[in-house]
A = this chain, B = another copy of it.
Amino acid sequence: MAKRVLTPQSEDFPRWYQDVIAKAELADNGPVRGTMVIRPYGYAIWERMQADMDGRIKAAGARNAYFPLFIPESYLKREAEHVEGFSPELAVVTHAGGKELEEPVVVRPTSETVIGEYMAKWVQSYRDLPLLLNQWANVVRWELRPRLFLRTSEFLWQEGHTAHVSEEDARAYAERIHVDVYDAFMRELLAIPSVLGRKTAAERFAGATNTLALEAMMRDGKALQMGTSHELGQNFAKAFDIRYLSDEGVEEHAWTTSWGSSTRMVGGLIMTHGDDQGLRVPPRVAPVQVLVTVVKAGEGVLEAARALVADLVKLGVRAELDDRVDTPFGRRAVDAELKGIPLRVEVGPRDLAEGSVVLVRRFDGSKRSMPLGQVRDAVPSQLAEDQQALYDAALAFRESRTVAAASIDEAAEAARSGWATIPWSVLGVDGEGKLAASGITVRCLTMPDGSVPASEDADGVLAVVGRAY
């Protein structure tokens, strides 16, 4: 029987999560409470996510820029609703350059205010719009109950901020980010199925007129918000005085959006696909897709393994060699499982004498012997198949844990182990408040066909309710 390397998910999910992060060497706690050290393996996953997301953001026309870490305290008082949202989470620098500062500066909890200031400076005429900016940066929100990747006092993210000539343009862009950037990224790269919808007024971002969100179900049945895209109406443009001269020569306030996604998605990746043996990293995002393992030394074994790695790399596969024959084979296999490497090819002297090797899928642990010469052909299609298999499994899991509820009590019952959908006309603001009292929230409002409702009042709107991270 396999030795137990992790606390099983069914026994203690939060403990499993902690264990797998430590044992797969994804991250450590930082020295200051709530901070995180992202270790090379975890960072390699994040880098691949970032590169892919960045390409999609650029394809949507936004350009990257970089705004300062430090924000004058006064900026945060500009937008009353904004500061209410953030004040207790702020880290404040009071001393610098060996002296006390005249005005304390805040470590950015977002760059929204400073970006607003510069947008106001850069936007003069309708010709300057749309102004589509994105930033990759670290932000700080002091956390009292930190959890690696999910809630850390410092985290890495991208935040997009755009200004438009009209409400229609701003709305279309917020939706484009929600669907074409975020959802496509989650599906295609992370193999994570999301429910797309809009937030209720109670769950909306402070200052937004509409918040679009993607909600994914973790393997404990709880929801994780994977990214949000906000329409800010003219609220933000008025607070920061972002005005432009229209093509008719009239001075107008712009319509703005903002949208963000963060290292929290790494937590979502872990909790969507991981199992009791460790991570299962979808092939497209995996830093190592195939580990070619020398089972033990023997005639021609190392040479065959090396040649196979070289062949796979030539095909564009991220293949690595494991030739640490001083370390017991079993330990190396367990480590590869913990790290969720999609495929392993075991090259051993006995099999090799017969011209064959063993291909092991992390997805389901299945093994099959094949002629060495066939591995080159088998690997790319197996990677594509397993990318899809992870998506399908996550979707099937979510469906198995989602109940169509007809009453508030039924919905509350379903939220013990997963989600419920309930007509928003049945739940309503009162029902939302009632569920909130027992820690259950409306994750989003969605249409029966999975599309985003034009408004809360659209016919047939469903509330997706559950417990959330």
A415 interfacial by beta-carbon distance below 8 Å: no
Does chain B have a CB within 8 A of A96?
A: yes
1/0 per residue A105-149: CB within 8 Å of B?
101000000100110010000000000010001101010100000
17 A-B pairs with C-beta separation under 8 A: A28-B121, A31-B68, A31-B75, A32-B71, A35-B68, A37-B114, A38-B66, A40-B64, A43-B63, A43-B65, A69-B138, A70-B153, A87-B98, A91-B93, A92-B93, A92-B95, A93-B93
How far apart are the CA atoms of A124 and B142 in the complex, in Å?
33
CB closest residue in chain B, given A103: B32
| A39 part of interface (Cβ distance < 8 Å) | yes
Q: What is the copy number of this chain in the assembly? A: 2
- Identify the 4 closest CB pairs spanning chains A and B, nearest first: A35-B68, A40-B63, A97-B142, A30-B68
Interface centre among A36, A43, A68, A137 (most CB of B within 10 A): A68
**Complex: chain B residue closest to A67, CB-CB:** B37
Check A30 against B114 for contact (C-beta < 8 Å). Answer: yes
How big is chain A's contact interface, by range?
35 or more
A118 partner residues in chain B, CB cutoff 8 A: 28, 37
| Chain B residues with CB under 8 A of A36 | 66, 68
Contact: B92 with A96, CB < 8 Å? Answer: yes
Residues of B within 8 A of A88 (CB): 97-98
State which residues 52-83 of A face B: CB under 8 Å.
63-72, 75
Asked if A91 and B96 sit within 8 Å, CB to CB, the answer is yes
Partner of A47, one of B64, B67, B70, B107: B64
Q: Which residues of A contact B (CB under 8 A)?
A: 28, 30-32, 35-40, 43-44, 46-47, 63-72, 75, 87-98, 104-105, 107, 114, 117-118, 121, 133, 137-138, 140, 142, 144, 153-154, 156
Residues from chain B with Cβ under 8 Å of A96 in the complex: 90-92, 142, 153
In the assembled complex, the Cα of A25 lies from the Cα of B118 at a distance in Å of 13
Known: A37-B66, A69-B69. 8 other contacts (CB 8 A): A30-B70, A31-B68, A31-B114, A32-B71, A43-B64, A88-B97, A91-B95, A97-B142
Do residues B89 and A35 form an inter-chain contact, with CB atoms below 8 A? no
What separation, in Å, do the CA atoms of A114 and B105 have in the docked complex? 24
Please pick, from B31, B44, B98, B154, the residue contacting A72 in the complex, using a CB distance under 8 A: B31
Q: Is the CB of A32 within 8 A of B91?
A: no
A30 lies within 8 A of B67 (CB): yes
The answer to whether B71 touches A31 (Cβ under 8 A) is yes
Using CB atoms, name the residue of chain B closest to A121. Answer: B28
Residues of chain B within 8 A of A40, CB atoms compared: 63-65, 133
Cβ B94 vs Cβ A154 within 8 A: no
- Asked if residues B92 and A97 are in contact (CB atoms below 8 Å), the reply is no
Closest B residue, CB atoms, query A143: B97
Residue ID in chain B nearest A107 by CB atoms: B93
Name the residue among A64, A69, A87, A90 with the largest chain B CB count within 10 angstroms.
Answer: A69
Given contacts A44-B63, A94-B94, A138-B138, contact A154 B31 (CB under 8 A): no
- Specify which chain B residues have a CB less than 8 angstroms from the CB of A133 in the assembled complex: 40
Looking at the assembled complex, report how far the CB atom of A288 sits from the nearest CB atom of chain B, in whole angstroms: 12
The residue in chain B whose Cβ has the minimal distance to the Cβ of A30 is B68
Residues of B contacting A32 in the complex (Cβ-Cβ under 8 angstroms): 68, 70-72, 105
Q: Which residues of B contact A47 (CB under 8 A)?
A: 64
State in angstroms the CA–CA spacing of A99 and B313 once bound together: 53
Q: Does A68 contact B37, Cβ atoms closer than 8 Å?
A: yes
Whether B89 pairs with A97 at a CB distance below 8 angstroms is yes
Kindly report which residue of chain B lies nearest to residue A32, judged by CB atoms: B70
Query: Of B70, B90, B142, which is within 8 A of A35 by CB?
Result: B70
What residue in chain B is nearest A36 (Cβ atoms)? Answer: B68
